[in-house]
Amino acid sequence: MLYIASALSPTPILDTLRVKGLTGPDSISLVVAKPNRIEIWDVNEAGLTFSADLELWGSVVGISLVENTEVPGLKPHLLVLLGPPDAHLLLLSFQLEPSPSLIVTSSLALSPPTPTLRRAEFFNGVISQGFTALVSLWVGVVSCIEIDVEKEKEAKRRRSNRVQRLVFKDNFNINLREHNLLHLAFLPSSSPQNEPTLSFLWLSSNSTLHLQARRLAAKSRTFNELSKAVDVVMPTGKTSVEDDTDFNDIPLSCPAARRVVPVDSEHMLVIGDEHTCLYNLSFTPQSPQISRGSLSSSQGPKSPRGANTQRSPQNDMMGGSGKRRKSSAAGSRSGLEVGERWNLKPLWRVRQGFGTVLSATVLETHASGASVLIGDECGRLTCISWETQPTRFLLGEEDRYGCQTQNVCQIAPPSSLTYLDNGYLFLSSGCSDSSLVNLQIPSGSESCGSSASPTRGIPIRKGKGRASGQSADFADVEDSTTGLTSIKERWTNLAPVRDFDVVREEGGGISHLVVASGVSNSNSLRIIRSGVGLEDLVTIEGIEGITDLWPVASSNGSPLLLGSTPTSTFVLQIEPEITAVDIPDSIASRPTLSAAVLESSLVQITACGVVLWSDLASGNQAGNWEVPNGEEIVAGHICGSLVAVARRRGKVDIISASSNGLQLLVSYEAGAEVASLAVIQLPTLPSPIIAVATWEKEILVYALDQIQAGASVVTSLSESFPSLGTLTSTSGVQLIAGSDDGSMITYDLEPSGDQGEIVMKGKRLASLGNRPLKLCQTAGLAVGEDQIVAVGLTERMSVVFESSDRIDFSTASRKDIVAAANIPTTAFGHVIALASGTGLSFTRVNSLKKLSVSTMDTGDRTANKIISMTTQKLLALGTVSRVLESQTGDVLQSSYIELRDPTTLDLHVDLRLKDREEVTCLQEVLFKEDYYLAVGTAILPNDEDLDSLLSINESSLYAQSGRLLLVAPEQDASSGEWKLKIVHSKDVPGPVNDIASIHGFLAIAAGSTVTTVKATGDHSFLEVCDTFSSVFVAQHLLVVPPTKLHSTPRLIVGDGMRSLCVLEVDLALATVWSEDKDMATHQVMALQNVKDQGQGCIIADGHSNLLTFRLDESLESAASFGLHEDVVRFRQGSLVPPSSAPETMTPDLLFATADGRIGIIGELTTAASQTMNDLQRNMARYHKGPGGMDWKTWRRGGTELVTKDTAGFVDGDFIQRFLDTSLVSAADAEKMLNGTNAHEHVGKLGPDGHGKVDVERADVLRVLEAAAGLY
């Protein structure tokens, strides 16, 4: 059975809302919607402060605010729309008691009217006004939801405080003939009693764009047309449109309109990919004769720019995966009542430049104008401001408008723009980091006043038949000005992930991950490490040979650092500056084994004995205990007033220390040479515990009372490997042991033996490295709610901390550290002193995240493919730069092959490819005893396809040919500079989708064929050996290692339209033939080897499922999991050493999704599978998600028409909730352990490996904690 879990949750921000009074009477909050989470951040003087969050079991499609204007004391509520397969609408409220949290007050399941109804292609979301909400999820249907205040009797029944909440009252569907709905928005209402007015923007069946105002009649459950439908491309009349038509010449035309921004109850902005047009909705009395005319939409000629709406460039921007438009439908609509007419007409138009607008927000509105901020796909923020200039009193002329467009800045393409207060704007992004920005927009009052500048003319066409410069109709436009911005906060976002790879260390372990992400002008390379966030404060060079460090204090309480070398001891003063302290030779002349502060004195253990120093500077002693001549202390530990020392030949002494001196309490024989000691003193313990690690593969654990009473019963913790390293204790009755193979063992101890002996209740093992593990105690150091208890030192550094009553660890990006100590300071709080072979550094721990992310921005260069070349310690990337010229609409593209340093990401060299050529795959291959970089490319047939690539970033959809390149990286020995040499280039009929090396040959997946090639002569050219063409789309190649039934590697082809095909490749001739095939329509998106009771493979299909196949006698389906996210890549590897928890799981796969989720997959042991599978089954019955969501339904896979339950996977994100007492109460945990009958009780395998034995809660916790420690 396989275990799957998330190491990093999705990071893009889909939408944000500014809400007043949500967390308090006068509070201002920012609501943040991520793909699976809603977060609340309070806006205050310090910036954004986290308040609460709620993890959802579904994919967030949209959010909306339900504001209260009628009921006193009712807090604002939030609407959250979750998309299929388990579509729900949730109503959320914030509560302070018992802790700040988001709660679901009402939940509504949404389903299509007919099972085969496909999902809406353009507008998916929820909008609301007052207590009415509209949901668009399916083609031709809008769901109307009515909201009401919860009845008082229901409030009394549910809770004692009877706080008023909102709940869903009614739900009904309204059919639409406009199947291609582009945008839907409520117009601000002048009175709550009025029927809500909405703006509809849609694409008709003949590709014309229409805008219309309608009213929602809830009683009749329909939309009543309020105005005629206006063709926004040709609003003033029908015009002949050709392919080279310049829409700047068509008055008030707004081609490729996709968004409507309501400004007030009478005005709305219609925003296209080049222009913005202001429309006015006004009441016009009509005579009965005129009003009989039909208000049905006119059928205008086809608009080429309107057809651009078929491809949504917001897929990457919003972090989602949209669909292509398949069909559209249109029809006539009935008119309004006789005598009632509303006129919807354009007033003016401005040109903001090419680029699809992704988000817009109204900054200011007043009686005579407004200001709106828009952000487009290229990251440009533009402010459009206007003022009305009354001229109607002159000869009956219409009003004119003074307008101004201001280029504010260029930043990340926004998914939403939310103005907070005092010039601060939160820019959320689905394709780059989100930002808190301080806007400084120049005032537009002068340019928008009555003395406006003359109207600018429209320039002639440029570029591809498109115009540049300002364009206005019935408006005076001021020259564009540039504003100023400063970024105050930056929120990391990995999405959209393009590719990632694993960078390995010299020993083969994983160093870090490199993730390529971004789109447009906001691209980046991210380094993801499993580790701690450290900040260096001070570094001291020149102190060599340090073996140990301890925090001590002077007589006045100022912090000191005591260090030991193999021959001496030194003391450093920390504050006000770091200086050496003069100490007597009696202290400095010998090395220290252990030291600690006792009241105002210093306890020091040396090889000769224990000394109690009352004054370091003068060398005054308060007590002294020495070993007899000829004997030597080899280990020691100090805990409070107890001092434990071990002499050679296994003799242990326990000494009591006080300000009056030192007193020997007891001595005893351990029976073997001692490696290390630990003392545990707790108020809950009847007697202190002494732990002694020997060189005889055991740890002896005593209670002090036992030793003093001469009891013979001793607890022995025997291990299969010698225990070497230090021991330390934590705040619980736990013991941490470091072994010589880098493992850390945590023992749960309890003094509950029949004769007072210590009983081991359980243990957990984790791997912190490969070298002997040294544990340096760091008591008193806290990061947030977590307590750091030790620093583990092997070939790398790890921080061991206590979180939620369990021991965990996180790796730091530091090597060659030999000692560590925690030092309290007044300026920086607690810092860690780290000793290396050459000096000291003082470091502050900023975070204990399991994963830390660092970013390198690459601007407009998108890395679509990435591969780590382990043999040459290089990082190879296939990058493409696409720039949309805002004035002409031209797309400028250039592609490169890059070599970078895998650790620093510094660029070594890049090689530019041919025009219209793009890298589609990279692979490091061993070919004829040499390592090469094999590069596959796709070549576009013409320049016109570049417009489409700017939106979808998928060249293989348009390419008709490609190339295979063998590239040799070469480094100049004298200068160290790198260069890329193309050894061979081979044209391929079709884009090269993947490359693999098998039996010394190259296999190339291009188009619908798999071709094997070999090198001839001196590698000067490649010769085709064989071609296999029985696949639809040869998308992925995978070499499967030998198995018991197959002694040679095989080749698996992942079909982009179907499933898998297993191929045999001849060892000598490289001929290819099919061995087995699966013809299901899975649409393989990613492919990799996996181990699950034998050799197998795993795929991510086109329906967002994970599927595994066994490769035994035949290709056999195995496990399935409904992930509901698009997997970009699988990679072999793990975030921690695979041997960290061998009794639970072996992690061997990493995956990344387009939304930025980093996950692990591993094979569970038989014992762990039994326990976790039982727990998952019982939790699925008793534990529900927010809004009563069912886990089985949420993780159900398959397709929209044929679903399939999850099988063969344990959902780690789900069962790890069992550890969280705030989510699972003690009573619920007991139900989950017991099940409904004896057969459902959570169990484990019997002692003989067969049968089933019931387990206790502590046993389940240990298994879950061991699994959680792997990510």
DSSP for 226-254 reads -B--EESSSTTS-----TT--GGGSTT--
pLDDT of residue 162: 60
Q: Do 1065 and 999 meet the contact criterion of CB atoms below 8 Å apart?
A: yes
**pLDDT higher than 60, residue 397:** no
- pLDDT, average across residues 210-214: 95
Q: Do 176 and 142 meet the contact criterion of CB atoms below 8 Å apart?
A: yes
* CA dihedral of residues 1229, 1233, 1234, 1236 (deg, nearest 10): 80
Rg of the chain over CA atoms, in angstroms?
35
pLDDT of residue 461: 30
Residue 484 is encoded by which pair of tokens?
């100023």
* CA nearest to 728, candidates 701, 767, 691, 765: 691
Respond yes or no on whether the N-terminal peptide bond of residue 576 is cis (omega within 30° of 0).
yes
pLDDT of residue 465: 39
Instruction: Name all domains of the chain by residue range, CATH numbers in brackets.
Output: 359-493 (no CATH), 1090-1271 (1.10.150.910)
Euclidean distance between CA atoms 464 and 401, whole angstroms = 31
The two counts, helices (H) then strands (E), for the chain are 11, 93
In the chain, what are the helix, strand and coil shares in percent, each to the nearest 5? 10, 50, 40
Q: Do 800 and 809 meet the contact criterion of CB atoms below 8 Å apart?
A: yes
Which has the minimum average pLDDT: 535-549, 618-632, 733-747? Answer: 733-747
pLDDT of residue 509: 76
pLDDT of residue 304: 42
**pLDDT higher than 90, residue 413:** yes
- Identity of the amino acid at 19: V
pLDDT of residue 484: 60
pLDDT of residue 756: 67
Question: pLDDT, tens digit, for every residue of 840-882?
Answer: 999 988 877 678 888 999 999 999 999 999 989 999 999 999 8
**pLDDT higher than 80, residue 930:** yes
**pLDDT higher than 70, residue 458:** no
Q: 3-state class of 987 per DSSP? A: strand
- Confidence grade of residue 321 (pLDDT, cut at 50, 70, 90): very low
Contacts of 659 (CB under 8 A, 6+ apart): 598, 599, 600, 601, 614, 622
Euclidean distance between CA atoms 1000 and 1069, whole angstroms = 11
Q: Do 657 and 623 meet the contact criterion of CB atoms below 8 Å apart?
A: yes
- pLDDT, average across residues 269-294: 75
Which has the minimum average pLDDT: 208-217, 233-242, 1165-1174? Answer: 233-242
**Number of alpha carbons in the 13 Å side-chain half-sphere of residue 903:** 8
pLDDT of residue 310: 40
- Identity of the amino acid at 942: N
pLDDT of residue 374: 96
- pLDDT, average across residues 553-575: 89
Q: Do 20 and 6 meet the contact criterion of CB atoms below 8 Å apart?
A: no
Answer with the residue of higher pLDDT: 496 or 443: 496
Query: Residue 537, Cβ neighbours under 10 Å: how many?
Result: 14
**pLDDT higher than 90, residue 485:** no
- pLDDT, average across residues 262-267: 93
Q: Do 214 and 202 meet the contact criterion of CB atoms below 8 Å apart?
A: no
**pLDDT higher than 70, residue 1051:** yes
Question: pLDDT, tens digit, for every residue of 361-390?
Answer: 999 998 888 999 999 999 999 999 998 866
Q: Do 462 and 887 meet the contact criterion of CB atoms below 8 Å apart?
A: yes
Euclidean distance between CA atoms 1250 and 1235, whole angstroms = 21
Which has the minimum average pLDDT: 618-627, 781-790, 983-992, 1159-1168? Answer: 781-790
**pLDDT higher than 50, residue 997:** yes
CA 111 to chain centre: 29
**pLDDT higher than 80, residue 713:** no
**pLDDT higher than 80, residue 682:** yes
What DSSP letter does each residue of 48-112 carry, written as one string?
A: EEEEEEEE-SS-EEEEEEE--SSSTTPPPEEEEEE-TTS-EEEEEEEE-SSSSEEEEEEEEE---
Residue 766 is encoded by which pair of tokens?
């984790």
- Confidence grade of residue 256 (pLDDT, cut at 50, 70, 90): very high
Which has the minimum average pLDDT: 117-131, 139-153, 584-598, 780-794? Answer: 780-794
pLDDT of residue 276: 95
> What's the pTM?
0.83
pLDDT of residue 3: 98
Euclidean distance between CA atoms 435 and 438, whole angstroms = 10
Query: Residue 975, Cβ neighbours under 10 Å: how many?
Result: 7
Residue in the structure block whose two tokens are 């307590």: 787
Question: pLDDT, tens digit, for every residue of 75-92?
Answer: 999 999 999 888 999 999
Answer with the residue of higher pLDDT: 323 or 731: 731
Element (H, E) at 1257: helix 1257-1268
Question: pLDDT, tens digit, for every residue of 11-42?
Answer: 999 999 999 999 998 899 999 999 999 999 99
- pLDDT, average across residues 1208-1232: 93
Euclidean distance between CA atoms 1101 and 1126, whole angstroms = 8
Which has the minimum average pLDDT: 612-621, 706-715, 1061-1070? Answer: 706-715
**pLDDT higher than 70, residue 314:** no
pLDDT of residue 764: 78
Question: pLDDT, tens digit, for every residue of 943-959?
Answer: 655 555 544 455 556 68
Q: 3-state class of 818 per DSSP? A: coil
Which has the minimum average pLDDT: 448-462, 512-526, 925-939? Answer: 448-462
pLDDT of residue 1119: 96
Question: pLDDT, tens digit, for every residue of 870-924?
Answer: 989 999 999 999 888 888 888 888 999 999 999 999 999 999 999 989 999 999 9
**pLDDT higher than 80, residue 338:** no
pLDDT of residue 475: 57
Which residues, in sequence order, are bridge partners of residue 262?
268
Q: Do 262 and 185 meet the contact criterion of CB atoms below 8 Å apart?
A: yes
Q: 3-state class of 868 per DSSP? A: strand
- pLDDT, average across residues 739-764: 79
Task: Choose from 86-95, 472-481, 685-694 the range with maximum mean pLDDT.
Answer: 86-95
